[in-house]
Amino acid sequence: MGRWEPNARGRLEEAALQLYSERGFDRTTVAEIAEHAGLTERTYFRYFADKREVLFGGEGALDEIITHAVAEAGHAVAPIDAVAAGLTAVGEMFRGRADHARRRQAVIAANPGLQERELIKLSRLAASTADALRRRGVAEPTASVTAETAIAVFKVAFERWVTDGGELADVIADSFAELKTVAGAGQ
């Protein structure tokens, strides 16, 4: 094991984002990211499996927050509201991180491979959300429709927030209100 480096993960994420923004994703190497962060390549690979993963480090945390919110929701709470509460808590995680998220989104938008990785992550998040709902006794197809719909709303909210600013938690709450209007508007 190398010596302990304070906030190595955060430093690597910031260094990667800076280099990907300046030079482009394809023209940046892991060695350069590590050097820019004042760390070694070996340390980089202790945290991230590859060059893409440094942009997607938060997945585990998101998953945990949503699963926790669904597990802890009172039994009177509708499934969609339990998931919305979890996603709003995810939104709180991003308080003060709008600039970081905006730069990250610009890097992803410029690279089809990164867009694919982002979609896979969202798809996994929907699958684990549906699992959490089923563990709470929500039957199919309600669990899957709720989970996939909620992650779709989250995706739209995240994009709105990156473009328009404000607080992500507020944009998420507003987007779920919009979902209810949209779905309730039909016959």
Sites of contact with a copy of itself (CB under 8 A): 78-81, 84, 112, 115-117, 119-120, 123, 126, 140-142, 144-146, 148-149, 151-153, 155-156, 159-160, 174-176, 178-187
Of 29 and 115, the one with the shorter C-beta distance to a copy of itself is 115
Minimum Å gap between C-beta 57 and a copy of itself is: 19
- Pick 21 or 111: Cβ nearer a copy of itself: 111
Shortest spacing between CB 63 and a copy of itself, in angstroms? 18
Angle at 141 between CA 81 and CA 177, to 5 degrees: 25
From the CB of 184, what's the least distance to a copy of itself, in Å?
Answer: 6
Name the packing angle between helices 168-184 and 79-93 (round to 10°): 150
The CB-based long-range contact list for 105-110 (8 Å cut-off, 24+ gap) reads: 105/159, 105/162, 106/21, 107/17, 107/20, 107/21, 107/25, 107/55, 108/55, 110/24, 110/25
CB 114 within 8 A of CB 108: yes
* Least gap, CB of 149 to a copy of itself (angstroms): 5
Return the structure tokens found at 3.
Answer: 């010596």
8 or 122: whose CB is closer to a copy of itself? Answer: 122
